[in-house]
């Protein structure tokens, strides 16, 4: 695209320039609103989701599919991570949760990248946001890894990384590594629990809760270590 064409595009009204993304955003909003309406009117709470994923041999596939689509309806990742341990135990819960969380992270990244396209021009490094985007692209792995270890909101990091169009390989590797401690800690919370869907009673194993808390602490300590190393390099 020539300089003249770029200036014409930038001068066009916002709706004209970004109407496909605005339509997609509206469809996304309708999907999220529809889910919230259905969950409220049908009383589709956590108990119903647990029962659905516990039923039949397709439970793990249903769990992974729900986890993958979770960011589109803003369902908390922490809830499904705990549910993974509660439903499938430590081995199965950790495996299915890791698969689902990484797939959901990539889906949110792609959505953020799609909506961020043309809002951040690669050939325009001016402005605070563009400069920050350039910095993140140059240090994608370290930046995403640090955000994961700091336990920043999972979906915010996913969408923001896609919006800033950082390197997807570095993003995926940093997400897989940096999210593992908190994923394991949440799965342990689920493994430590025993829920009776008929009565709603819930019991916890305190030792597994302690192990979960230690993993959270280890994640925060690692984030501090990486921040100190980054400062020394600067």
- Mean pLDDT in residue range 134-149: 84
Residue 53 · residue 83 · CB < 8 Å: yes
Please tell me whether the overall predicted TM-score, pTM, comes out greater than 0.85 for this model.
no
Answer whether residue 154 shows pLDDT above 60: yes
Residue 223 · residue 138 · CB < 8 Å: no
Total of domains in the chain: 1
Residue at 170 is within a domain = yes
SS3 at position 195:
strand
Q: What local confidence, expressed as pLDDT, does residue 49 receive?
A: 63
CA distance 217 to 84: 21
Residue at 25 is within a domain = no
CA distance 183 to 101: 9
- Mean pLDDT in residue range 152-162: 90
DSSP one-letter string for 9-55: HHHS-HHHHHHHHHHHHHHHHHHHHHHHHHHHHTT--HHHHHHHHHS
pLDDT > 70 in the chain, percent: 59
Q: Most confidently modeled of 4-13, 52-61, 224-233? A: 52-61
User: Which range marks the domain in which residue 105 is found?
Assistant: 45-233
Residue at 177 is within a domain = yes
How far does CA 104 lie from the centroid of its chain? 6
- Mean pLDDT in residue range 205-219: 78
CA distance 85 to 50: 11
- Mean pLDDT in residue range 72-93: 87
Question: pLDDT digits over 161-184, tens only?
Answer: 998 888 899 999 999 999 999 999
Beta bridge mates, 203: 194
Does residue 34 or residue 126 have the better pLDDT? 34
185 Ramachandran zone, left/alpha/beta (phi>0; psi -120 to 50)? alpha
pLDDT > 90 in the chain, percent: 18
Residue 144 · residue 170 · CB < 8 Å: yes
Q: Which of 29-43, 54-68, 88-102 has the lowest mean pLDDT?
A: 29-43
Q: What local confidence, expressed as pLDDT, does residue 79 receive?
A: 86
Q: What local confidence, expressed as pLDDT, does residue 5 receive?
A: 45
DSSP 64: H
How far does CA 178 lie from the centroid of its chain? 12
Residue at 113 is within a domain = yes
- The two tokens of residue 30 are 């309708």
The three-point CA angle 177-103-99 to 5° equals: 65
DSSP one-letter string for 104-141: HHHHHHHHHHHHHBTTB-TT---SHHHHHHHHHHHTHH
Crossing angle (nearest 10°) for helices 168-178 and 140-149: 30
Residue at 117 is within a domain = yes
Residue at 105 is within a domain = yes
Crossing angle (nearest 10°) for helices 77-116 and 154-163: 10
Q: Would you place residue 52 in the very low, low, confident or very high pLDDT band (cuts 50, 70, 90)?
A: low
Residue at 88 is within a domain = yes
Residue at 79 is within a domain = yes
Q: What local confidence, expressed as pLDDT, does residue 38 receive?
A: 54
């Amino acid at each position: 695209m020539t300089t003249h064409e770029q200036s014409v595009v930038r001068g066009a009204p916002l709706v004209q320039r970004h109407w496909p993304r605005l339509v997609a955003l509206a469809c996304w909003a309708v999907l999220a609103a529809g889910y919230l309406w259905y969950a409220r009117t049908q009383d589709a709470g956590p108990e119903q989701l647990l029962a659905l994923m516990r039923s039949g041999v397709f439970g793990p596939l249903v769990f992974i599919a729900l986890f993958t689509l979770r960011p589109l309806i803003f369902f908390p990742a922490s809830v499904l991570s705990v549910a993974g341990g509660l439903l499938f135990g430590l081995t199965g819960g950790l495996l299915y949760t890791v698969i689902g969380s990484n797939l959901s992270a990539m889906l949110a990244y792609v959505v953020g990248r799609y909506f961020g396209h043309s809002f951040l021009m690669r050939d325009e490094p001016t402005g605070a946001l563009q400069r920050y985007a350039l910095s993140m692209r140059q240090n994608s792995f370290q930046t995403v890894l640090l955000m994961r270890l700091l336990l920043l909101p999972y979906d915010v990091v996913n969408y923001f990384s896609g919006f800033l169009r950082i390197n997807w390989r570095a993003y995926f590797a940093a997400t897989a590594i940096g999210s593992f401690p908190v994923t394991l800690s949440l799965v342990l919370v689920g493994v430590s629990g025993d829920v009776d869907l008929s009565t709603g009673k819930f019991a916890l194993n305190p030792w597994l809760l302690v192990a979960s808390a230690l993993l959270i602490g280890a994640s925060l300590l690692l984030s501090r270590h990486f921040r100190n190393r980054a400062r020394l390099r600067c």
